[in-house]
Structure 1
Amino acid sequence: MNYAHQTPYSDPGRYAELLDALPTDVPGLAAAVQNLLIHYRGGGIEFTGEHLEEVNNRWVEEILATDQRRNGTPLTAPRAPEDRVAGCCRDYALLFVSALRHQGIPARSRIGFATYFQPGWNADHVIAEYWNGDRWVQVDAQLEPGEHWGFDVQDLPAGRFRSAAETWRGFRSGEIDGETCGVDPTLPLRGGWFIRDYVFLQVAHLNADELLLWDGWGAMADDLEMDLTPTDELAALLVAADAGDKAAEAKVRDWYHADPDLHPGEKIMVHTPTGGPPYSVDLGTRQKVPQGK
């Protein structure tokens, strides 16, 4: 996979020229992304209606279209928090990745769990990685740098973020308590099943399908009442691929495209966090699918 190329999800489409003016340095680019987006749950604003629904913007082109309808100014022009596009960690990472790819820099989004938001809690999270010519550098594009983090959020130290595959292997070995892995300690969206579903998301994002965190497809499930051997094998391959094993990387890619349990089809089920009922989206037409079709 050539991570310098846009995917259907990261492609800015008709708004590509707007990315020309974005900074080319990592701190400046991260700040520009933070100026365009606001977290739908953590921005200090209670979003409702259409503004809240922006968290389901699937494509960068759609995110930029929303911004331009509301603001209509260059992406470097300051936006008030209430005028930013509502999103989540996935959107910060994907927009950051899109801008780097626009500059010809290999970049990708990574699915996993962050250890730095609450002590003892592994928060589901998406970060970005870019290739600096020597190694993959991990960037949390959602966070402003600061001494209070105790580390560089634009070059994450090892262990601060664990991929879903690493977390799954830790869960299976007993090193990680699955009940400490999820969306929030106050919510039931946690546990081994949740980690397993995120392994599916990790594979999708690495293979040009940067799906929403609440999308469902294939063999995803809200329990572990199935043979877990394939997930164990997949996680092992993903960890090996991250360590530079090209054969493992190729095997994951081939497996992803061949197995309908891993690869989303033409339609995806969206379990929106906005409180509405689940619905389907046709990934080709980018339109909601009427129920029963």
Structure 2
Amino acid sequence: MPAPTLFDYTDHSPYSNPGNHAGYFAELSTDPEALHRFACTAVVHYRAGGPALTEAQKADPDRRWLSSILDAAESRAPLDGPRTQAQQVAGCCRDHTLLTLGVLRTHDVPARSRIGFATYFTPGWHADHVVGERWDGSRWVRYDPELDQADFDFDVHDMPTGPASPFVTAAEAWLAIRAGTADPATFGVGPDLPEDVRGRDFVRSYVLYEVAHRHRDELLLWDLWGPQLGTRFVREAAGGQAAAWVRDAGLPGADMSDAEFDAVADELAYLLVAADAGDGEAADQLAELYREDARLHPGERVLTLSPTGHGGVTDLAAR
């Protein structure tokens, strides 16, 4: 099975489709600074900066479909006007990026999201993060739609790439950890948060997210499937209830051992890095693995363990 083409990246995924807001998106600018302003006007980060969320906003982070994010935003204020924090949709980096993918793809600009870790939020820390990439006609240009250029000493609309860049992909981080050249204790959601949202196994899990997003399955960062379901984090989540949800739903992949998951993450990470370097054969092999192995791609159902406190099996087909 071949890797996604540039044409595929101009087509909306179920997640990036703006639905009945497509006409409005067709009028928006694809200028990087305009995309930044639009994304950060529509969505406020649910956690960064400690915003006081309204009751309506507390459930927002679980809006995985762009059409749902836009419906909520429009119900609170006109999409083309200013809005107060209370009128924004509470989300995260994944949602800021998804908004820009929706605009770019509406304008037939190939665009995709990338999963990894940013070094530019907290010194010495690799914060889990989602950024975007757009095709400029000759190469993929990486950008962070959350960032204000005035606050950073690198081009936030054309970020350097590679292991030494400000944003390290999940694959690059995993391979560095496996090689002993990166400290896994410096990767995760936050240095002061519980161990289940930082460290080696957390990075390994993000390799699976990176593969999914590369293939236009832009799931939430708390949707879990495949080998993620057999991790200690899931076994202990919700007082042990999460493991029962997985078992009762018959979700595949939960029986994969840690050693098997390590080996799978190794292979996926090597293929991701090779594909980024322009190896078309590696990109095709990655796509085939992802699509053919039911444990590696989300099916119609995933386990959701949300920071909002919501937990359970989500039916993606039912929307």
The answer to whether the Cα contact below 8 Å between 2:303 and 2:313 also exists between their aligned partners in 1 is yes
Q: 1:281 is matched by which residue type in structure 2?
A: T
Partner of 2:42: 36
Rounded to whole Å, the distance in 2 between the matches of 1:248 and 1:120 is 32
Contact 1:21 1:76 in 2 (8 A): no
Distance (whole Å) between structure 2 residues aligned to residue 119 and residue 44 of structure 1: 19
Residue 46 of structure 1 deviates from its aligned partner by 1.7
Q: CA deviation at 1:198?
A: 0.3
Alpha-carbon distance in 1 for matches of 2:315, 2:58? 21
Alpha-carbon distance in 2 for matches of 1:48, 1:69: 14
2:222 counterpart of 1:218: no
- Aligned residue pairs: how many? 282
Which residue of 2 is the match for residue 16 of structure 1? 22
**Match status 1:284 vs 2:317:** yes
Q: CA RMSD in A?
A: 1.4
Per the TM alignment, residue 260 of structure 1 is displaced from its structure 2 partner at its CA by 1.6
Alpha-carbon contact 1:199-1:235 (below 8 Å) kept: yes
Match of residue 82 from structure 1: 86
Higher relative contact order (CA 8 A, sep 6+): 2
Any idea what SS the aligned residue of 2:112 has? strand
CA contact (8 A) 1:45 1:82 kept: no
Structure 1: distance between partners of 2:171 and 2:105: 25
Structure 1 gap ranges (5+)? 287-293
Corresponding position of 1:291: none
Deviation of the 1:156 alpha carbon = 1.2
Query: Which residue of structure 1 aligns with residue 240 of structure 2?
Result: none
For residue 149 of structure 1, what is the aligned residue in structure 2? 152
Q: Does 1:132 align with 2:136?
A: yes
Q: Does the 8 A contact of 2:222 with 2:305 survive in 1? A: yes
**CA displacement at 1:134 relative to structure 2:** 1.5
Q: State the partner residue of 1:236.
A: 270
The counterpart of 2:212, out of the listed 177, 183, 204, is 204
Structure 2 spans left out of the alignment, 5+ residues: 234-256
In the alignment, the residues of structure 2 paired with residue 222 and residue 113 of structure 1 have an alpha-carbon distance, to the nearest angstrom, of 22
Residue 42 of structure 1 and its aligned partner are, at CA, apart by 2.0
Q: Deviations over 1:63-117 (max 9, x none)?
A: 011111111x2x3311112211110000001111110000110000000011111
Deviates more, 1:36-45 or 1:89-98: 36-45
Aligned equivalents of 2:44, 2:288: Cα separation in 1 = 36
Residues in 2 aligned to 1:185 and 1:34: alpha-carbon distance in whole angstroms: 25
Give the deviation of 1:229 after TM superposition: 1.8
For 2:125, the equivalent position in structure 1 comes to: 121
Q: Which has the larger share of helix?
A: 2
How far apart, CA to CA, are the structure 2 residues paired with 1:65 and 1:175?
45
Deviations 1:176-218 (A, max 9, x none): 1111100000012111110011000001111121000011110
State the AA in 1 paired with 2:315: D
Q: Is the 8 A contact 1:194 1:222 kept in 2?
A: no
Match of 2:298 among 249, 264, 281: 264
The residue matched to 1:100 in structure 2 has which SS? helix
1:195 pairs, out of 194, 203, 207, with 203
**How far is 1:48 from its partner?**
4.8
Question: 2:95 is matched with which residue?
Answer: 91
TM-score, L = length of structure 1: 0.93
Residue number in structure 2 paired with 1:289: none
1:23 partner letter:
S
Q: Secondary structure at the match of 2:313?
A: strand
**2:54–2:86 Cα contact (<8 Å) kept:** no
Rounded to whole Å, the distance in 2 between the matches of 1:196 and 1:181 is 11
Q: Percent identity?
A: 45
Please say if 1:59 is aligned against 2:69. no
CA distance in structure 2 between the aligned counterparts of 1:44 and 1:18, rounded to whole angstroms? 31
